[in-house]
């Protein structure tokens, strides 16, 4: 447990989002729990957070990020990653297994959880590898990993190339209640591509990545999950066709869930035009048409949630030729602002819908005890300023990864205060 | 005058700039073809060719262009493996920049490398071919050749045939020619074309006959033999039969149509020997014109620097 004492916190006069709806009230936090949600609460000795004009919502939940520790601490470590998450309003995050060593054993899972507890109050839930070394061959010890606190299984970064290996993994993991997360990408179709295949890849002379690389694997993995009657979660859906396959599979009755990432909702392949390597991400930034389809898929529930795919890198890995640059965007600190700006401001989603996509919905996918704000629960809370306009400047990121294509963009909406487990993890001074 | 410090691609320059480069190259051609190939245009300037890929004509023509104009020319060749292992492109570029280089001429196997270099140096950067993106000086010399032979570019029908997908020559010519009012049609097997080509303002077809019919210029593109192994076409013989520039096909073009090729050519693959050596072929003259165009560019880019005028 953290050394910090659990102070009393009173969040005053915010628009509080509980399972029964949103209304103006106060929230009192005691002993790390939500002790009361009522109007006009008072607690003389409590630390007070003025939330007038703010949303008071469950701490945001991110089920897809890369914390880089162990092994790549020069990109990010658990302390800097959780600090960045807190700044972004997140209180529960799930980190992928592509560390060094890979998180394919209980030792690594436990190491990550211990480091996270030492770092502060943000809840870190490791996602373990489905196969040893992410090689797509031997299964990891799913039972032992579950017992050590892994919340899901994924070879994220690569898709399991051998369809039969995936079938075996889905069949075996069911018994231990861990969901398998698919990174949908057919590497043969990707064929060394560097950006979305289309007008811009042709105009810029960069090898393209066809949408079919994503769509075929979503279809394949869903068909295999259906075969085993196993649940499956699809990571970072970025295309119209990908969303359509998920929609069809849901209609068919499959236990499939899906996420997309903020950058697919705000940026397009046109952003690559000056060969800015900060726009290089996998799957790649797509088109306006894909964006429209993803927004529709969020609205109709085809895409269950938004996950950051926070992928911090060192500047030396981005300040190189486009072909040599690492894939990924440092996303924790821009995720909410982008989603509010791209989805709520234009009226595509209501505030409540967006909060659901970033709190209760992702929490439900991995059965996390998070994403709901009500009396008696662990006090994970984000105080969100929906009016704040701010300009993205990676110099101010708490993440070590300054790799963002959003530098200089004006966003609306940010977390003023993030409370995790009853402790203030971040507060705008 | 050129607007930018660098020449990175035909995508970034205006029709007026193209016009001025071609006019200047006309003057330079009189030097290249004269008995006394020496002018003072680049006196006191240093030009460095930095080649991460093999090249004969491009590198040599830049070097000769510099020397004909009394500039100092040097060459750096690097294997691409040293990029991945050792010094980064930016570090190399900075090192070369601070040696007092006025123009860096870069050939690189990766798209966007000259753009990255240009952002990190004071010297002017000329893109001498980057990955599958652009080769602007080749397009300029091709356009120079067409203009000289046909009296202008506007209204010309230019057929570009072959591996458009991987060709930086094709992309630069597409950008340049469409800006100058020519109409461009590209042709090849669909495996060697890309999605979205039509949106560059050109016609696209997988039937070479249709492209060549009535063309003023027929330009062949080099096919790399390794494309066959990667499954992009089945055999040399079949490629030549359906997509190669043969005498029968060239006969479908206008009678006085030019036959062009950036070289080096694969005889019997993308072009038959008879076509490569026919009287309409400009393959050799393109090389001469390449020196003239590169002289023009080096002169124009070094003239940009105001402080250089007094020296």
- pLDDT surpassing 60 at residue A1: no
Which percentage of chain A shows pLDDT scores above 70? 99
Q: Is the pLDDT score of A4 beyond 70?
A: no
pLDDT at B311: 38
Instruction: Say what the pLDDT of residue B232 is.
Output: 93
Residue A208 to residue B194, Cβ atoms within 8 A: yes
Phi-psi region of A307 (alpha: psi -120 to 50; beta: other; left: phi over 0): beta
Degrees, nearest 5: CA angle A64-A18-A255: 45
Tell me whether strands A9-18 and A21-30 are parallel, antiparallel or unpaired.
Answer: antiparallel
Interface residues on A facing B, Cβ-Cβ cutoff 8 A: 194, 197-208, 274-275, 316, 319-324
Return the structure tokens found at B231.
Answer: 């499954």
pLDDT of residue A3: 45
**Cβ-based contacts of B167 with chain A (< 8 Å):** none
Other beta carbons within 10 Å of A237 = 29
The answer, yes or no, to whether residue A372 has pLDDT greater than 80, is yes
pLDDT of residue A44: 84
Q: How far is A217 from chain B (nearest CA, A)?
A: 22
pTM: 0.94
The chain-wide mean pLDDT, for chain A, equals 97
ipTM: 0.91
- Residue B223: per-residue pLDDT: 92
Which pLDDT belongs to residue B54? Answer: 85
- Summarize pLDDT for B6-59 with one digit per residue, the tens: 999 999 999 999 999 999 999 999 999 999 999 999 999 999 999 999 888 899
For residue B173 the two structure tokens come to 């010519």
Average pLDDT over residues A73-99: 98
What pLDDT digit, counting tens, does each position of A139-179 carry?
999 999 999 999 999 999 999 999 999 999 999 999 999 99
Residue A250's pLDDT is 98
Q: Are strands B103-108 and B124-130 parallel, antiparallel or unpaired?
A: parallel
- State the average pLDDT over residues B210-233: 93
For CA atoms B292, B298, B304, B309, the dihedral sign is: negative
Please answer whether residues A208 and B196 qualify as being in contact, where contact means their C-beta atoms are separated by less than 8 angstroms.
no
Q: Which of A26, A290, A309, A380 is catalytic?
A: A309
Q: Which of B82, B89, B110, B139 to mutate to test the interface with A (most CBs of A within 10 A)?
A: B110
Q: Determine what percent of chain A is predicted with pLDDT higher than 90.
A: 97
Q: What is the CA radius of gyration of chain A?
A: 21
The pair of three-digit structure tokens given for residue B295, joined into one six-digit string: 């002289």
Q: Mutate which of B83, B89, B92, B131 to disrupt the A interface (most A C-beta within 10 Å)?
A: B131
Q: B205-211, long-range: CB within 8 Å, 24+ apart, which pairs?
A: B208/B161, B208/B242, B208/B243, B208/B244, B208/B245, B208/B249, B209/B249, B209/B252, B210/B185, B211/B159, B211/B160, B211/B161, B211/B185, B211/B186, B211/B187
Asked about A309 being catalytic, the answer comes back as yes
B108·A319 Cβ contact <8 A: no
pLDDT tens per residue, range A246-298: 999 999 999 999 999 999 999 999 999 999 999 999 999 999 999 999 999 99
Residue B309 scores a pLDDT above 50: no
Model confidence over A193-248: pLDDT tens digits? 999 999 999 999 999 999 999 999 999 999 999 999 999 999 999 999 999 999 99
CB contact under 8 A, A206 and B133: yes
Structure confidence by residue, pLDDT tens digits, A378-392: 999 999 999 999 999
Q: How confident is the model at residue B134 (pLDDT cuts 50, 70, 90)?
A: very high
Q: Which of A316, A319, A321 is opposite residue B113, by nearest beta carbon?
A: A321
Asked if A203 lies within 8 A of B134 by C-beta distance, the reply is no
pLDDT of B1: 81
A139 CB-contact burial (10 Å; exposed 0-12 / middle 13-18 / buried 19+): middle
The pLDDT-based confidence of B85 (bands split at 50, 70, 90) is low
End-to-end CA distance of chain A: 26
Number of helices (H) and strands (E), helices first, in chain B?
A: 13, 9
pLDDT digits 0-9 by tens, A397-414: 999 999 999 999 999 999
Contact assignment for B196 to A319 by CB distance below 8 Å: no
Confidence at residue A215, expressed as pLDDT on a 0 to 100 scale: 98
- Phi-psi region for residue A376, left (φ > 0), alpha (ψ -120 to 50) or beta? left
Specify the residue for token string 């520790």: A69
Which pLDDT value is given to residue B227? Answer: 84
Interface probe, candidates A271, A273, A275, A279, chain B, greatest B C-beta count within 10 A = A275
Give the pLDDT confidence score for residue B80 in this predicted structure: 55
Q: Which of B84, B90, B110 sits opposite A322 (nearest CB)?
A: B110
Hey, are the CB atoms on A205 and B197 less than 8 Å from each other?
no
Q: What is the mean pLDDT of chain B?
A: 93
- The CA distances from residue B291 to B77, B108, B126, B141, B294, in Å, are 20, 20, 14, 8, 5
Query: pLDDT tens digit string along B52-84?
Result: 998 888 999 999 999 999 999 999 887 654 555
């Amino acid at each position: 447990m953290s050394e910090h004492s659990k102070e009393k916190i009173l969040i005053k006069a915010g628009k509080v989002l509980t399972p029964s709806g949103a209304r103006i009230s106060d929230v009192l936090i005691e002993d790390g729990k939500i002790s009361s949600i009522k109007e006009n609460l008072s607690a003389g000795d409590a630390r007070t957070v003025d939330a007038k004009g703010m949303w008071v919502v469950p701490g945001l939940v991110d089920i897809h990020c890369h914390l880089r520790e162990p092994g790549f601490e020069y990109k990010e470590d658990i302390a800097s990653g959780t600090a960045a998450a807190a700044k972004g309003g997140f209180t529960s995050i799930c980190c992928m297994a592509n560390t060094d060593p890979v998180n394919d054993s209980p030792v690594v899972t436990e190491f990550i959880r211990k480091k996270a507890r030492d770092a502060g109050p943000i809840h870190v839930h490791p996602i373990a590898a489905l196969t040893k070394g992410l090689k797509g061959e031997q299964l990891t010890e799913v039972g032992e990993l579950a017992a050590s606190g892994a919340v899901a299984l994924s070879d994220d970064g690569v898709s399991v190339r051998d369809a039969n290996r995936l079938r075996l993994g889905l069949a075996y993991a069911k018994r231990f209640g861990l969901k398998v997360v698919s990174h949908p990408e057919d590497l043969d179709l990707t064929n060394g591509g560097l950006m979305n295949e289309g007008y811009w890849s042709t105009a810029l002379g960069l090898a393209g990545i066809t949408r079919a690389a994503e769509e075929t694997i979503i279809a394949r993995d869903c068909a295999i999950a259906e075969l085993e009657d196993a649940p499956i979660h699809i990571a970072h859906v970025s295309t119209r066709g990908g969303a359509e396959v998920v929609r069809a599979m849901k209609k068919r009755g499959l236990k499939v869930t899906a996420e997309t990432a903020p950058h697919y909702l705000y940026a397009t392949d046109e952003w690559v035009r000056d060969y800015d390597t900060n726009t290089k991400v996998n799957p790649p930034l797509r088109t306006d048409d894909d964006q429209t389809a993803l927004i529709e898929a969020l609205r109709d529930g085809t895409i269950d949630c938004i996950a950051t795919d926070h992928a911090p890198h060192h500047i030396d890995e981005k300040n190189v030729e486009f072909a040599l640059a690492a894939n990924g965007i440092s996303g924790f600190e821009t995720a909410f602002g982008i989603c509010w700006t791209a989805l709520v401001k234009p009226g595509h989603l209501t505030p409540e819908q967006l909060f659901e996509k970033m709190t209760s919905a992702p929490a439900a996918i991995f059965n996390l005890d998070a994403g709901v704000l009500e009396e008696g629960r662990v006090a994970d809370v984000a105080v969100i300023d929906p009016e704040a306009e701010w300009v993205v400047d990676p110099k101010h990121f708490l993440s070590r990864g300054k790799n963002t294509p959003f530098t200089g963009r004006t966003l609306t909406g940010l977390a003023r205060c993030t409370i995790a487990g009853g402790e203030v993890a971040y507060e705008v001074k | 005058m050129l607007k930018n410090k660098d020449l990175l691609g035909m995508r970034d320059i205006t029709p007026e700039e193209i016009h001025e480069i071609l006019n200047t190259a006309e003057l330079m051609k009189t030097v290249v073809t004269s008995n006394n190939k020496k002018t003072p245009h680049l006196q006191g300037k240093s030009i460095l060719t930095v080649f991460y890929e093999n090249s004969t004509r491009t590198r040599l023509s830049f070097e000769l262009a510099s020397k004909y104009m009394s500039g100092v020319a040097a060459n750096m060749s690097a294997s691409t493996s040293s990029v991945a292992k050792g010094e980064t492109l930016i570090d190399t570029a900075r090192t070369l920049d601070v040696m007092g280089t006025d123009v860096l001429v870069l050939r690189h196997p990766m798209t966007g490398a000259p753009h990255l270099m240009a952002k990190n140096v004071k010297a002017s950067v000329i893109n001498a071919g980057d990955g599958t993106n652009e080769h602007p000086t080749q397009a300029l010399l091709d356009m120079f050749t067409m203009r000289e032979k046909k009296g202008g570019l506007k209204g010309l029908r230019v057929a570009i045939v072959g591996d458009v997908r991987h060709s930086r020559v094709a992309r630069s010519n597409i950008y340049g020619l469409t800006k100058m009012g020519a109409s461009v049609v590209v042709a090849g097997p669909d495996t060697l074309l890309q999605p979205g080509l039509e949106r560059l303002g050109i016609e696209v077809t997988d039937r070479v006959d249709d492209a060549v019919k009535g063309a003023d210029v027929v330009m062949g593109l080099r096919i790399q033999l390794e494309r066959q192994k990667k499954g992009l076409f089945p055999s040399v013989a079949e490629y030549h039969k359906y997509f190669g520039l043969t005498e029968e096909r060239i006969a479908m073009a206008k009678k006085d149509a030019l036959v062009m090729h950036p070289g080096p050519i694969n005889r019997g693959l993308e072009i038959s020997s008879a076509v490569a050596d026919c009287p309409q072929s400009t393959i050799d003259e393109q090389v001469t014109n390449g020196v003239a165009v590169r002289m023009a560019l080096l002169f124009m880019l070094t003239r940009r620097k105001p402080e250089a005028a007094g020296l």
